[in-house]
Structure 1
Amino acid sequence: MFFVNWIIGPQLLAIIFLIAGYIQKLYPPKKINALYGYRTDSSMKNQQTWDEGNRYSTALMIKYAWVMLLGGFALTVLLMQFHMEENAFVLTKVGLMLFGAGFITVNLFRLTERHLKNLPSNKN
């Protein structure tokens, strides 16, 4: 169970976000499509916003994932100090993981959309 304590929680989600972010960084979507990449109305407006939206959102995803990974390990150490029952410990970490997922997702979209709105090609 010791190993599971270090994997289950925000750090598991961070590893998933890191893998996804680095895959998208290494293999960015070349053309606007409905399957792969940062897909919103504003990013799919033209090729310039598509490229910039994918570049910017990927960089943010990687940054947030590193913060979440380090934060997840720190939270694990902190929670271990409380000597919680095993089920409460896992439930707390899963709750933190879900909160982290929501936080990353909402902020990733919010900041990327703001960035795309402020591009010179989108200014009126």
Structure 2
Amino acid sequence: MDSILNSPFFNASLLAGLLFLFMGFMIRKYPPRSMKTWYGYRTFSSTINENTWHEANQYAAFLSRRMAYILIPFGLLMALLFKTQTDLFLYLTVTPVIICALLLTGLTEWHLLQEFDEDGERKIKKE
């Protein structure tokens, strides 16, 4: 067990990428039905009403899958480049996870701002 934990294949990018992929597909296939469920993308702007809740979860699930497609290959690449877990290895595998988590939140919030007004009503798009 100790050799698995110390393996370069046991890294933050790879594990978080798998988690992002799982979350993205699960929320896509089984979207949270209401804001009272234990899972889902839950922020102030996503819980204004049911429309913002469903839009935020749909968009966050989409982004989560896309970020997993970046994190998983990056984690595998780092595992192939490093023979052992070093400090540099730790920084290189944790940093993309932090960036992706921040991007997931920021981009989803930005999407909600573009789609809804402050009362949670869908904006009318000019074409």
Report the TM-score, using the length of structure 2 for normalisation.
0.77
Change (3 A) 1:87 1:55: closer
Residue pair 2:78, 2:93 contacting (<8 A) in 1 also: no
Work out the CA distance in 1 between the residues paired with 2:11 and 2:85: 12
| Equivalent in the alignment of 1:35 | 38
Counterpart contact for 1:38–1:57, Cα < 8 Å: yes
Q: How far off its partner does 1:63 sit? A: 0.5
Residues 32, 40 of structure 2: 8 Å contact kept: yes
Unaligned ranges ≥5, structure 2 = none
Q: Determine if contact 1:31/1:47 at 8 Å carries over to the other structure.
A: yes
Q: How many residues align?
A: 117
Could you tell me which of 4, 7, 10 is aligned with 1:4?
Answer: 7
Greater fraction helix: 1
Q: Which runs of 5+ in 1 are unaligned?
A: 81-85
Deviation of residue 10 (structure 1)?
1.3
Residues of 2 paired with 1:15 and 1:9: CA distance?
Answer: 10
Spell out, residue by residue over 1:34-77, the C-alpha distance to the aligned partner (whole angstroms, 9 max, x if none).
63211111111111111000000011011101111011222333
Q: Which runs of 4 or more aligned residues in structure 1 lie more than 4 Å from their structure 2 counterparts after TM superposition?
A: none
More divergent stretch after superposition (107-116 vs 17-26): 17-26
When structure 1 is superposed on structure 2, of 21-30 and 70-79 the one drifting more is 70-79
Distance 2:51 2:25 in 1: 21
Amino acid at match of 1:44: T
